[in-house]
């Protein structure tokens, strides 16, 4: 299973999915970011630190920043 971050109404939620998320399977989200390699990267992407961060443009960025912050 891979980690994803779902977003709706400004709230971000980390979740796992065995298949790439679709709008039919996850109607509770307006957008999905991922897949992430680690839960740490997904958790960072869902955190307030990621919002508006100009260094977070790709999943790889979240993984790198989360690793550096640890």
Number of domains in the chain: 1
- Sheet strand arrangement including 31-36: 11-17, 2-8, 31-36
CA distance 60 to 33: 11
pLDDT tier, 70 (very low <50, low <70, confident <90, very high otherwise): confident
The pLDDT value recorded for residue 46 is 98
Three-class SS state of 67: helix
17-42 pLDDT, tens per residue? 999 999 999 999 999 999 999 999 99
- The 8-class DSSP code of residue 19 comes to S
49-63 pLDDT, tens per residue? 999 999 999 999 999
pTM above threshold 0.75: yes
């Amino acid at each position: 299973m891979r980690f994803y971050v779902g977003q709706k109404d400004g709230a971000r939620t980390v979740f796992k999915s065995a298949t790439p998320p679709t709008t039919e399977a996850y109607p509770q989200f307006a957008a999905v970011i991922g897949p992430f390699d680690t839960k740490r990267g997904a958790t960072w992407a869902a955190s307030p630190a990621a919002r508006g961060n100009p260094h977070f443009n790709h999943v790889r960025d979240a993984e790198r920043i989360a690793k550096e912050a640890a």
